[in-house]
């Protein structure tokens, strides 16, 4: 097959540690997305700032569980004589809540992602993986070339896989954004929801504008990552699903045939 | 016969492995929390160790201004005196009728002076007021002002012994939970009897609730009845919820 494509005589293949990291991320991300969705179902309201609950206005209300606008509350009671001030109300509705396992599973998967991520960053820096394969070279990058690559993608002119980390410009840019921007924001906003972590590092609350803002940003980063996954899968199918799977798993063994 | 033998052998292997485990892990002679939900709670156990190792021990949770106080939903048990609720308790109903004049907080276990504290006794201790954010496991947050006595003050007044490692709480609506010494002696861990400048309302845990500001809301137990200090982690079984929830 034309696995060699344009790379000439030297065939660069995915390194073993890159492949291992890739699949750890696949597993942990799918688990995080699944458990994250469960957690969101328990309280499908998003807010901005430090505070947000059923007695305060929401930014977005998602119709994703029976908890959506359930309205099962006793009459509100004001905390003070100021009737426009903060209130309390007792909940009478038996909400959907599977967070007992949902949260524990989420954090278990998060540990795998964070620990593997740290190892990946260190390896990526010291082996030159980021410099050689992810960061676009000077000759590669210009607005013109960037535009050209976008047009190519829109016309569905997608070359078959090279079997290694020889990425296109748009591909490199996407990976850069996912690895160095979205993933770190997802992890940091996750930590900003932790009372123990924010007690130690209150600056996290300042960066993201509060615990509820962090939760909202966390939601949008995960939506972005799911969209990335969809596009990623689409591109893999377009450029040879079977080849990609073999190069990302067995690698060299496959080529000997 | 054969079956019996098989079980005996299996038992022997298990016993043998446990013995090896005990040799390999001499530091784990005492039970470490949580002791349930092996695989699922592995991340929580790891989080607990990571937080206790990496985070500065006594850093304070953020405190807010008076005008930041927000509306605050009451969830879970909202009145243990209401016989139609799951957390109904007859003894609590009696105390509630007597406006908690007869309520006593029992402090027991590894303390040199076990005893009972009335509401008036707790009010006599120096108080602490803090405006903090409650982070519920469900995903919502709310800010309130809490007034109460630091748990450390009560524990020291009862003469807590040096081998103490955990503080266990028994409450009127049937729950049981514990915290470690770092949380128990944290300056913001208080037994709150006031909320937003008034007596603690029934839906929020009257007459006294716990505030553990560096963990998720459900560690701040409502309707406190009894405190037991232990040197071992008391396994209350898997209630379906993680024991350490600083995250």
Over residues A104-115, the pLDDT tens digits come to 999 999 999 999
Q: Span B205-209, mean pLDDT?
A: 97
Cβ atoms < 10 Å from Cβ of B98:
10
Half-sphere exposure of A195 (CA within 13 A, CB side): 29
Report yes or no: B99 and B182 within 8 Å, Cβ to Cβ.
no
Contact B204 A88 (CB under 8 A): yes
**Cα distance between residue A226 and residue A222, in whole Å:** 6
Q: Is A2 among the domain residues?
A: no
Residue-averaged pLDDT of chain B: 89
Q: Span A223-229, mean pLDDT?
A: 98
Q: Is A8 among the domain residues?
A: no
pTM of the predicted structure, to 2 decimals: 0.90
Cβ atoms < 10 Å from Cβ of A58:
18
- pLDDT at B11 (0 to 100): 52
Asked if ipTM goes beyond 0.85, one says: yes
Contact A193 B135 (CB under 8 A): yes
Nearest Cα of chain B lies from the Cα of A26 at a distance, in angstroms, of 18
Sequence-distant (≥ 6) Cβ neighbours of residue B138 within 8 angstroms: A42, A43, A95, A97, A99, B75
Q: How many domains does chain A have?
A: 1
Report yes or no: B142 and B72 within 8 Å, Cβ to Cβ.
yes
Assign B39 a pLDDT band (cuts: 50, 70, 90): confident
Range scoring the smallest mean pLDDT among A49-63, A107-121, B60-74, B231-245: B231-245
**Cα distance between residue B95 and residue B79, in whole Å:** 12
Percent of chain A residues topping a pLDDT of 70:
94
The DSSP bridge pattern shows strands B115-118 and B104-109 to be antiparallel
Q: Span B197-201, mean pLDDT?
A: 97
Chain A residue numbers with beta carbons less than 8 Å from the beta carbon of B55 are 196-197, 199-200
Q: How far apart, in Å, are the Cα atoms of A253 and each of A30, A57, A166, A246, A250?
A: 28, 58, 20, 9, 6
pLDDT in tens, A126-185: 999 999 999 998 888 899 999 999 999 999 998 888 888 999 999 999 999 999 999 999
**Cα distance between residue A98 and residue B138, in whole Å:** 9
pLDDT in tens, B17-28: 444 444 444 444
Chain A residue numbers with beta carbons less than 8 Å from the beta carbon of B180 are none
* Among the listed residues B219, B184, B182, the one whose alpha carbon sits nearest the alpha carbon of residue A200: B182
Q: Is A4 among the domain residues?
A: no
Candidates B73, B135, B214: best to mutate against A (most CBs of A within 10 A) is B73
Q: Which of B44, B73, B240 sits opposite A91 (nearest CB)?
A: B73
Range scoring the smallest mean pLDDT among A129-143, B72-86, B200-214: A129-143
**Cα distance between residue B128 and residue B146, in whole Å:** 8
Nearest Cα of chain B lies from the Cα of A92 at a distance, in angstroms, of 8
Assign A12 a pLDDT band (cuts: 50, 70, 90): confident
Supply the range of the domain harboring residue A223.
16-255
Contact A88 B201 (CB under 8 A): yes
Chain B residue numbers with beta carbons less than 8 Å from the beta carbon of A208 are none
Range scoring the smallest mean pLDDT among A63-72, A81-90, B4-13, B154-163: B4-13
Q: Span A41-45, mean pLDDT?
A: 98
Report yes or no: B172 and B225 within 8 Å, Cβ to Cβ.
yes
pLDDT in tens, B162-191: 999 999 999 999 999 999 999 999 999 999
Chain B residue numbers with beta carbons less than 8 Å from the beta carbon of A100 are 239-242
Contact B51 A88 (CB under 8 A): no
- pLDDT at A4 (0 to 100): 41
Instruction: State in words which class domain B36-230 has.
Output: alpha beta
Q: How far apart, in Å, are the Cα atoms of B62 and each of A50, A99, B69, B107?
A: 11, 25, 13, 29
CB pairs under 8 A between A and B: 156
* Among the listed residues B210, B237, B198, the one whose alpha carbon sits nearest the alpha carbon of residue B35: B237
From the number of C-beta atoms within 10 Å of its C-beta (0-12, 13-18, 19+), residue A158 rates as: middle
Q: Which of B46, B56, B216 sits opposite A195 (nearest CB)?
A: B216
Q: Which of A76, A103, A196 sits opposite B215 (nearest CB)?
A: A196
| CATH number for the domain harbouring residue A68 | 1.20.950.20
Q: Which residue of B has its CA nearest to A189?
A: B247
- pLDDT at A6 (0 to 100): 44
Percent of chain B residues topping a pLDDT of 90:
77
Chain A residue numbers with beta carbons less than 8 Å from the beta carbon of B239 are 100
**Cα distance between residue B209 and residue B147, in whole Å:** 10
């Amino acid at each position: 097959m034309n696995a060699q494509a344009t790379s000439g005589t030297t065939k660069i293949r995915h390194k073993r540690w890159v492949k291992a990291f890739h699949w750890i991320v696949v597993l942990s991300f799918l688990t995080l997305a699944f458990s994250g969705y469960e957690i969101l179902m328990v309280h499908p309201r998003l807010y901005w700032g430090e505070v947000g609950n059923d007695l305060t206005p929401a930014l977005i209300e998602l119709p994703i569980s029976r908890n959506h606008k359930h309205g099962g509350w006793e009459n509100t009671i004001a905390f003070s004589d100021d009737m426009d001030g903060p209130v309390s109300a007792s909940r009478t509705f038996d909400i959907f809540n599977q967070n007992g396992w949902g949260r524990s599973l989420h954090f278990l998967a998060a540990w795998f992602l964070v620990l593997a991520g740290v190892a990946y960053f260190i390896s990526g820096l010291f082996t030159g993986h980021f410099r050689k394969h992810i960061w676009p070279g000077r000759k590669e990058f210009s607005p013109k070339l960037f535009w050209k690559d976008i047009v190519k993608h829109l016309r569905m002119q997608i070359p078959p896989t090279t079997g290694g980390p020889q990425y296109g410009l748009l591909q490199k840019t996407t990976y850069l954004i996912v690895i160095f921007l979205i993933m770190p924001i997802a992890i940091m906003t996750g930590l900003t929801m932790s009372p123990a972590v924010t007690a130690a590092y209150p600056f996290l609350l300042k960066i993201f504008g509060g615990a509820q803002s962090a939760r909202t940003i966390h939601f949008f980063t995960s939506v972005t990552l799911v969209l990335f996954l969809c596009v990623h899968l689409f591109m893999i199918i377009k450029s040879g699903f079977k080849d990609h799977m073999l190069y990302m798993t067995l690698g060299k063994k496959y080529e000997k045939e | 016969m054969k079956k019996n033998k098989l079980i005996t052998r299996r038992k022997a292997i298990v016993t043998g492995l446990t013995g090896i485990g005990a040799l390999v892990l001499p530091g784990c002679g005492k039970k470490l929390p949580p002791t349930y939900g092996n695989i699922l709670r592995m991340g929580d156990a790891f989080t607990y160790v990571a937080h206790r190792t990496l985070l500065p021990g006594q850093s304070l949770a953020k405190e807010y201004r008076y005008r930041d106080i927000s509306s605050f939903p009451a969830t879970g048990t909202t009145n243990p005196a209401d016989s139609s609720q799951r957390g109904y308790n007859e003894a609590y109903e009696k105390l509630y009728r007597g406006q908690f004049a007869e309520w006593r907080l029992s402090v027991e276990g590894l303390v040199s002076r076990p005893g009972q504290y009335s509401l008036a006794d707790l009010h006599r201790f120096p108080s602490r007021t803090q405006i903090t954010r409650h982070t519920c496991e469900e995903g919502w947050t709310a800010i309130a002002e809490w007034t109460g006595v630091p748990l450390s003050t009560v524990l020291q007044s009862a003469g807590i012994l040096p081998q103490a490692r955990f503080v266990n709480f028994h409450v009127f609506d049937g729950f049981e939970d514990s915290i470690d010494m770092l949380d128990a002696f944290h300056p913001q861990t208080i037994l709150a009897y006031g909320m937003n400048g008034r007596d603690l309302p029934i839906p929020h845990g009257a007459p006294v609730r716990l505030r553990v500001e560096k963990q998720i809301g459900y560690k701040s137990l409502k309707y406190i009845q009894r405190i037991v200090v232990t040197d071992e982690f008391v396994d209350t079984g898997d209630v379906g919820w993680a024991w350490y929830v600083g995250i």
